[in-house]
Structure 1
């Protein structure tokens, strides 16, 4: 059975591995629709056509205009990774000026299983809003892969994008998504 995975990514260095993540998800029988924050879309600008060909769907980073048809099938699950400090806080606070954050916020209300894995440095997580955002999202039913068994922050400037645990995010999507 093919299931639809909305894969939403923010502008953090692991986003450059998104094609491999899409391929991995496809081997797990997911039909992948890729949504990007505007900055992530700018970072991947030269790859967007190839990513659209890989997924078979347009890559989205902006809301559609009123009256335009939805170009994606309905989501069976939403996976948000990498989720930056900004994306996590906007989502938890319900600030939906960005397409992906709007879909994520609405997904909570629709009961769509949702998994997120942040990608933030250890300085950002000291800000009191970050922990509140993690707790708010968990309280809303979102599986947040943060801390032991998920993403563990690096010190500022010492990021290791190659060490971002994408496999944990996909495994969690498998665990909470439809079978």
Structure 2
């Protein structure tokens, strides 16, 4: 599968924050994802990290290249300013173009190209009322602000992963813009006593990758999980849960207003009455389990919109897996079902092989869970999107 930023040209503006030392790492990660990176530096940035170092890992934009790169017919797809100082941000907000970075930014804005700003500065500057107004002005004009990490009295540059995710969202298709999508992921934990619990090997990665994929394509995502990503992203809400009861309660609360429910979690099938104190280990122990509520069935009682379901089996043939999954699709009124044999690969592994079934096709997808998530969403767009979102 092509890299996410294949064929994309990103103009990276580096300004005079100490966080400029992170620029090489950021450039390398953007390139790893397939992007061509053309860099422009402010004079003060050059004092912190030398131009020779940046030129070694990327292309340096020459003088007067703002129109070629970011004009109406420019070759660049997006401008990213990281790190962005209070000085640079305020100048852009006031329409001042007195450096290569601000000139590039204003050219991009005039050409309606996406501009992403990742601030980095002292905390007191970030909270200055004049700066806050300038930042809000940029937000109101549609610029993307990558929120900094507020730590130790500083507004620290967001991590590389978060910045790259914002770039990917800005250059991705927007099939789900304006839509709310609820995604569940991970196992649940049913406690036997204060230190022991019943769970399973689910890593939650498949659901997490789906949540991010829908977010990249414009959705407002609610991610209900026992293993949160912990990323600070706009329109990306995480609800951390522990037990199947917690997950059910969160789902019931969120699905009433959603456009698509993605049931990718592996909640416990059984619960147990928790002992108040640690059970002594001497001798045998008999546990009395009772059936846990089926989250998808409970959701279906209050929500008749679009649903993607998952089905895990063990040791079955491909045809039997199809028959079981197809029956689930009919029984639970699913728009799509994703099935796999977890004895092969999938649960707790970085890669997976899944059978994807819709009313229009059955097909296999194999690879990293990130790539498989992209394939699942692609097929959903092709086979289900129009009819399911109209119904919702």
What range describes the TM-score normalised by the shorter chain of this pair?
A: 0.7 to 0.9
Alignment of 1:1-179 (within 5 A): 1-45=6-50, 48-55=51-58, 57-59=59-61, 63-64=63-64, 74-146=75-147, 151-156=148-153, 164-178=158-172
Shift of 1:130: 1.0
Q: 1:33 to 1:123 in 2, by over 3 A?
A: same
Shift of 1:59: 5.0
Shift of 1:125: 2.4
Q: Is the 8 A contact 2:12 2:40 kept in 1?
A: yes
Bigger helix share: 1
Q: What is the CA RMSD across the aligned residues, in angstroms?
A: 2.5
Q: Which runs of 5+ in 2 are unaligned?
A: 1-5, 174-392
Give, in whole Å, the separation in 1 of the partners of 2:135 and 2:42.
Answer: 19
Kindly name which structure, 1 or 2, has the bigger radius of gyration based on alpha carbons.
Answer: 2
Which runs of structure 1 show a deviation greater than 6 angstroms over 4 or more consecutive aligned residues?
A: none
**What is the aligned length?**
164
Give, in whole Å, the separation in 1 of the partners of 2:91 and 2:38.
Answer: 21
User: What is the TM-score of this pair, normalised by structure 2?
Assistant: 0.39
User: What is the TM-score of this pair, normalised by structure 1?
Assistant: 0.80
Q: Is the 8 A contact 1:51 1:59 kept in 2?
A: no
Q: Is the 8 A contact 1:91 1:105 kept in 2?
A: yes
Say which structure, 1 or 2, has more relative contact order (CA 8 Å, 6+ apart).
Answer: 1
Question: What is the DSSP-based 3-state SS (H/G/I as helix, E as strand, rest coil) of the residue aligned with 1:123?
Answer: helix
Give, in whole Å, the separation in 1 of the partners of 2:108 and 2:79.
Answer: 8
> 1:38-76 CA distances to partner (integer Å, 9 max, x unpaired)?
10012222xx22422321x2355xx439xxx95897211
Give, in whole Å, the separation in 2 of the partners of 1:118 and 1:50.
Answer: 22
Q: Is the 8 A contact 2:69 2:76 kept in 1?
A: no
Give, in whole Å, the separation in 1 of the partners of 2:53 and 2:117.
Answer: 25
Question: What is the DSSP-based 3-state SS (H/G/I as helix, E as strand, rest coil) of the residue aligned with 2:121?
Answer: coil
Q: Is the 8 A contact 1:9 1:37 kept in 2?
A: yes
Shift of 1:159: 7.1
